[in-house]
Amino acid sequence: MENMKKPKFIILGVVGAILLVIVVIAFKTYYDDYYVWSDYYAMIPLDYKIAPEEIYDKGEYVGLRQKYTIIAYNEKGESKEIRIYAWDTSGAKTQREDDTGIIEPGTYIYVNSARKIVINWNVVEKSEIPNQILEYVK
């Protein structure tokens, strides 16, 4: 009888170890997707179509929002598609905290991003972009 219990414990141990590995891999993937950040730089292409949409909250005008989908580069020259939004609330009753105004084509931006989310972004001068990245950002 005791010999029959041993294989059950071995099987349970193997299944437990496999489940632990799966959980660790899933956690690492989630962590990398949302918490491992990299710096990227981009330029809004000169031919980028600017077409801001009007945004309303409960029927009240809150401003204009422009969505940008652009390619940005890190210091290794790796590219990443980035989506950011710029707000212009100058004609609204209340100002948004993240109001940057609509970004014009030819503007350089810095983006801090994880794999799945943009943490923050700012407009920067061309001189603020590292030289090794500048050759990609055109």
91 shares a domain with 47: yes
57 shares a domain with 10: no
75 shares a domain with 26: no
Q: In sequence order, what DSSP letters do the residues of the chain get, joined into one string?
A: -HHHHHHHHHHHHHHHHHHHHHHHHHHHHHHHHHH--EEEEEE--TT----PEEEEETTEEEEEEEEEEEEEE-TT--EEEEEEEEEE-TTSSS--TT---PPPTT-EEEEEE-SS-EEEEEEE-GGGS-HHHHTT--
52 shares a domain with 111: yes
43 shares a domain with 28: no
Distance CA 137, CA 40 (A): 10
What does the pLDDT average to over 22-44? Answer: 90
In this prediction, residue 5 carries a pLDDT of: 67
How many domains does one find in the chain? 2
Distance CA 68, CA 33 (A): 21
54 shares a domain with 13: no
128 shares a domain with 115: yes
Amino acid at residue number 87: W
The range of the structural domain enclosing residue 28 comes to 1-36
In this prediction, residue 2 carries a pLDDT of: 54
In this prediction, residue 34 carries a pLDDT of: 85
8 shares a domain with 45: no
pTM: 0.74
